[in-house]
Amino acid sequence: MSELLTARYSVIDLEATGLNPKKDEMVALAIIPMVGTRILIKDYFFTPVKPKKLKANSIKYHGIDFNALKNAPEFCTIAEKIKTFLDGTIIVGYSTDFDVQILKNHFSKSKLRLDLKYIDVAQIEKWIMRKNSIGVIHLSLDDLIKKYDLELAYRHNALADAYYTARIFQYQLKKLLDFGVNKLTDLLSIGQMENPLYW
Amino acid sequence: MMFLPPADYLKRTKPFSFLSESELKEIISGLESEIYSKGETIFKKGGKPLEYVYFLKSGVVELQGNGTVENLTEKDVFGVASALTGNPPRFTARAKKDSVCYLIKRENFLNVFNSNHKFSEFFTRLMERRLVSFFKLSRKNSDNLDKLCAVPISELISRKPVVCSPDASILDVAEIMNKNNVGSVVVVDGGRAVGIFTQRDLTKLVASHTPLDEKVSKHMSAPVIELDESSTVMEAYLIMVTNAINHLVVVNNGEVKGVISTKDLLLKLESSSSLLCLSRKILRADVNELKNVIENVKRSIEDMVSRGTEFFELARISAGIQDLTVKRVLELAENKFATPTYCWLQTGDLGRGETVLPLKQSSLIVFEGDEKQIIEFAETVCSTLDRIGISDSPFSAKQWCFSLEEWSEIIRRLFCDPERHILEISTIMDSRFLKGSKEVYLQWQDILSRSVTKKAVSAMMRAALNGYDSAEEYTVPVSHLLMGVKALTLEAGIFDVKNTKERCENLLKMKLIPEGLGRDILEAYSVMNEIALRNQIGYPIGKIEEILLKESAKIVSQFQNFLRARL
């Protein structure tokens, strides 16, 4: 059986106080586990996270209610739990680079080391488009959701975004298998950013 | 719960929409999603009992069982029977296109199945093919009329019946009325109701200076329509509307238990009550008033359709009102024409009492004597009916007005080549006497029933097999069931029963059709008609209707196999 079908994945999406992964902090995290093409909706994980510096105006980035955040757990108190979720899995997301940077920062502040392997559905889509000799264009998450005919209108939030990313990845896995991609190393190189963002 | 798209999706989808928040959580905590490529097998017939119940999110899945193939589309649920019973699946499920399914863990599904009655009924009714009640269940807030259908009329009787003997004088009866403060008295002879005498009758007698020492039996309305006290309010309603009467005598084993009036029903029925008043208006209306009445009748019937009244009940109401109207128009026309001896028959859908909307003529005339007079009469009646809102059709008495001799020849010719004239034969066979000379009708009926040959019956059966063999098609012609049931009834020599429901019940009684199949046919027939009717007044064909039409299609093809084996 293809390695892609037995591998465990964590489809993630997070919300942050801003757009700078060095400075900004996580305020919500959603994880949807997958084994091969099977999405384990039942094991979904979602939590708001209380940032160290709680700025009232950052609501414009994440849309999460100030009061909800005041009562949310701090990252250090749930870091272990999140680590168990992510350990041994490949992280899947949209703009995963940013999410992983933020995660790494938070883990290192909690004195936890985690080797995070990750891939990006936008990159995988570009690879598939190239394979199909289609002109490669940048696709937003909304574009991808439309392309896979998943939903017409939905509410943006970490959990919904993670879920739709999982649905997109489910389709993509099928296509990759059709193209004969069976090794995880191949998947990882297909799903990496060509030009990772350096902050 | 945090906004999770599948949870939100299920919450909006039947039968998951019946679940409480905590039950939905239970489903979510057993939920997975899997993608299947075109051609991939999801599970195999006779394989391991299923660990999941499947919900098709997108794509097409094909179920292959014992010689049957069924295509499932978005929002279909499958694998329920195996998951419930722990038996191996009875069919193979294969993706016909790339498909995504939600998988619900068996334990979680069972927990909710056992805790939520409405949710479990949704599946069991479908599996047991109680299609009509399934349809009812699936509609939003089934209305109070639904509940009324089940209320026994005994609950409407609030006091002991006031009775008198047939020998009592009118004055005696007036005293009885006054003493008991009632508007009607049941005339009882030897414990049985023989008539009814109302305040209205009394007023008329007084106004016409009738001596008040005359016997009540001379002036009562008789015979009375009796109804067993276990009958439902719906039943009473149907009888009152279709007979345009004001009072019904409620009995138990023939013993008078009480009287119910339209007023009693009005209080219970609210808006469907308008038909009660309307049907009584028809009895005395002139043509202009009839037009007005029919318009209101249509609106009331549409209202009942949208509130989910069952097809056979609606059909009875609609046919009953059309009968009253036609009778009234005939009466009015008879005053103008010197008609020869004739009889008027309701035929086709109307003859079977199975038409609801639109109100359409379906009739024929049999006469003896002068042709010119009756043809003018028929034309006047048909165009009057058309004008008041019961539209003319190619199968109306305008075209089908013949003398007994002519009919005899027409029937002979039709039955010579039944294959070719199957539509006409099938329509005529459904004719029912409405007004005129019963004797002429019986002669005509005799000619007709003697003409029914084996050849004609098998032509009808073949018509029931024609042009339909795919379970994929949603637009299942109801006519196949109708034609098949009709053919079986005629084969059994039953000529006087026209209604498909009654025909089916007769076939069941005579054991000419397997019990399960007979019941399924009735469910399918009723539900297909109901869906068509609702669609006609603007309700779209949604997922639930699709499921029901598919289920009905399966029943039709089972019935066709049954007929094929007999041919």
Of B3, B6, B58, the CB nearest to A155: B3
Interchain contact, B4 vs A38, CB within 8 Å = no
How close is the nearest chain A Cα to the Cα of B34, in Å? 5
Q: Tell me the pLDDT tens digit for each residue of B442-455.
A: 999 999 988 888 88
Burial of A136 (0-12, 13-18, 19+ CB in 10 A): exposed
Question: Which of B100, B105, B109 to mutate to probe the A interface, most A CBs <10 Å?
Answer: B100
- pLDDT (mean) for B33-55: 95
How close is the nearest chain A Cα to the Cα of B466, in Å? 40
Put simply, whether the predicted model's pTM sits higher than 0.80 gets the answer: no
Q: Tell me the pLDDT tens digit for each residue of B462-514.
A: 888 875 444 444 445 788 888 999 999 998 888 888 899 999 999 999 999 99
State both tokens at B38.
């075109």
Q: How far apart are CA B380 and CA B373, in angstroms?
A: 11
- What number does CATH give the domain A3-198? 3.30.420.10
Q: How far apart are CA B529 and CA B312, in angstroms?
A: 9
Q: How far apart are CA A174 and CA A124, in angstroms?
A: 12
- Which sequence spans correspond to the domains of chain A? 3-198
Residue B543: closest CA among B14, B4, B2: B14
Q: Looking at per-residue confidence, does B340 or A136 come out higher?
A: B340
For chain B, state the CA radius of gyration: 28
How close is the nearest chain A Cα to the Cα of B2, in Å? 8
Residue A178: pLDDT over 60: yes
Question: What does the pLDDT read at residue B110?
Answer: 92
How close is the nearest chain B Cα to the Cα of A197, in Å? 30
Q: What are phi and psi of B217, to 5 degrees?
A: -60, -25
B370-379 contacts: CB < 8 A, separation 24 or more? B370/B340, B371/B403, B373/B337, B373/B338, B373/B339, B373/B340, B374/B339, B374/B340, B374/B342, B374/B401, B375/B401, B376/B337, B377/B333, B377/B334, B377/B337, B377/B339, B377/B342
Q: How far apart are CA B166 and CA B189, in angstroms?
A: 7
CA angle A110, A114, A116 (to 5 degrees): 130
In this structure, the strands spanning A8-16 and A90-93 are parallel
B27 contacts on A by Cβ (under 8 Å): none
For B234-246, give the DSSP string: HHHHHHHHHHT-S
Alpha helical stretches, state H, A9-140? 59-62, 66-70, 75-86, 96-109, 121-131
Residue of chain A whose alpha carbon sits nearest to that of B59:
A149
Mean pLDDT (chain A, rounded): 86
Mean pLDDT (chain B, rounded): 86
Q: Tell me the pLDDT tens digit for each residue of A42-101.
A: 999 999 998 887 666 666 556 667 777 778 899 999 999 999 999 999 999 998 989 999
Q: Are B404 and B445 in contact (CB under 8 A)?
A: no
pLDDT tier for residue B199 given thresholds of 50, 70 and 90: confident
User: Which residue type, as a one-letter code, is found at position A95?
Assistant: S
Helix axes B311-334, B287-306, angle to 10 degrees: 180
State both tokens at B101.
């399914």
State both tokens at B506.
């007769």
Q: Is B1 on the interface with A (CB under 8 A)?
A: no
User: Which residue type, as a one-letter code, is found at position B452?
Assistant: V
Question: What does the pLDDT read at residue B423?
Answer: 86
Q: How far apart are CA B435 and CA B433, in angstroms?
A: 6
How close is the nearest chain B Cα to the Cα of A195, in Å? 31
Find tokens 């000419």 and name the residue.
B512
Residue B457: pLDDT over 70: yes
Q: How many CB pairs under 8 A join A and B?
A: 51
pLDDT tier for residue B261 given thresholds of 50, 70 and 90: confident
Question: Which of A38, A41, A148, A150 to mutate to probe the B interface, most B CBs <10 Å?
Answer: A41
Four-point Cα dihedral B191, B197, B198, B202, nearest 10: -140
Q: How far apart are CA B142 and CA B242, in angstroms?
A: 25
Q: Is B87 on the interface with A (CB under 8 A)?
A: no
Question: What does the pLDDT read at residue A142?
Answer: 85
β-sheet with B184-189: strand ranges across:
B163-164, B184-189, B192-198
Q: Is A153 on the interface with B (CB under 8 A)?
A: no
Question: What does the pLDDT read at residue B146?
Answer: 55
Q: How far apart are CA B11 and CA B3, in angstroms?
A: 11
Total number of residues shown for chain A: 199
Total number of residues shown for chain B: 567
Q: Is B288 on the interface with A (CB under 8 A)?
A: no
Q: Are A170 and A124 in contact (CB under 8 A)?
A: no
User: Which residue type, as a one-letter code, is found at position B549?
Assistant: L
Range with the poorest average pLDDT among A186-195, B50-59, B390-399: A186-195
Residue A192: pLDDT over 90: no
- pLDDT (mean) for B1-18: 84
Q: Looking at per-residue confidence, does B431 or B370 come out higher?
A: B431
Residue B263: pLDDT over 60: yes
Question: What does the pLDDT read at residue A51?
Answer: 86
Q: How far apart are CA B185 and CA B174, in angstroms?
A: 9
B5 contacts on A by Cβ (under 8 Å): 151, 154, 160, 163-164
State both tokens at B227.
């109804």
Q: How far apart are CA A164 and CA B4, in angstroms?
A: 10
Question: Which of A8, A31, A39 to mutate to probe the B interface, most B CBs <10 Å?
Answer: A39
Q: What are phi and psi of A107, to 5 degrees?
A: -65, -40
Q: Are B27 and B15 in contact (CB under 8 A)?
A: no
Around B398, how many Cα atoms within 13 Å sit in the side-chain half-sphere?
Answer: 16
Q: Tell me the pLDDT tens digit for each residue of B312-346.
A: 888 888 888 899 999 999 999 988 888 889 999 99
Q: How far apart are CA B424 and CA B486, in angstroms?
A: 14
- DSSP class of residue B172 equals H
Question: Which of A34, A42, A159 to mutate to probe the B interface, most B CBs <10 Å?
Answer: A42
Q: Tell me the pLDDT tens digit for each residue of B210-254.
A: 898 999 999 898 888 888 888 877 788 888 878 878 888 888 887
- pLDDT (mean) for B135-153: 62
Q: Is A163 on the interface with B (CB under 8 A)?
A: yes
Interchain contact, B3 vs A157, CB within 8 Å = yes
Q: Are B369 and B339 in contact (CB under 8 A)?
A: no
Q: How far apart are CA B494 and CA B507, in angstroms?
A: 9
Q: Is A2 on the interface with B (CB under 8 A)?
A: no
**Terminal C-alpha separation, chain A:** 39
B29 contacts on A by Cβ (under 8 Å): 42
Q: Looking at per-residue confidence, does B389 or B246 come out higher?
A: B389
Question: What does the pLDDT read at residue B71?
Answer: 86
Q: How far apart are CA B27 and CA B30, in angstroms?
A: 5
Q: What are phi and psi of B118, to 5 degrees?
A: -65, -40
Of B32, B35, B100, the CB nearest to A41: B32
B100 contacts on A by Cβ (under 8 Å): 167, 170
Find tokens 């499947």 and name the residue.
B54
Interchain contact, A151 vs B100, CB within 8 Å = no
Q: Is A149 on the interface with B (CB under 8 A)?
A: yes
Burial of B158 (0-12, 13-18, 19+ CB in 10 A): exposed
- pLDDT (mean) for B121-126: 84
CA B266 to the chain's CA centroid: 22
Q: How far apart are CA A171 and CA A148, in angstroms?
A: 8
Residue B402: pLDDT over 60: yes
Around B128, how many Cα atoms within 13 Å sit in the side-chain half-sphere?
Answer: 10
Strand partners, B31: B104
Range with the poorest average pLDDT among B273-277, B357-361, B381-385, B498-502: B273-277
Q: Is B34 on the interface with A (CB under 8 A)?
A: yes
Neighbour count for residue B511 (Cβ, 10 Å): 9
State both tokens at B512.
């000419």
Interchain contact, B4 vs A157, CB within 8 Å = no
CA angle B31, B37, B38 (to 5 degrees): 125
CA angle B248, B252, B255 (to 5 degrees): 85
pLDDT tier for residue A153 given thresholds of 50, 70 and 90: low
SS3 A41: helix
Q: Is B229 on the interface with A (CB under 8 A)?
A: no
Question: What does the pLDDT read at residue A199?
Answer: 39
Residue B150: pLDDT over 70: no
Interchain contact, B2 vs A167, CB within 8 Å = no
Strand partners, B68: none
State both tokens at A45.
């994980």
Q: Is A156 on the interface with B (CB under 8 A)?
A: no
A173 contacts on B by Cβ (under 8 Å): 35
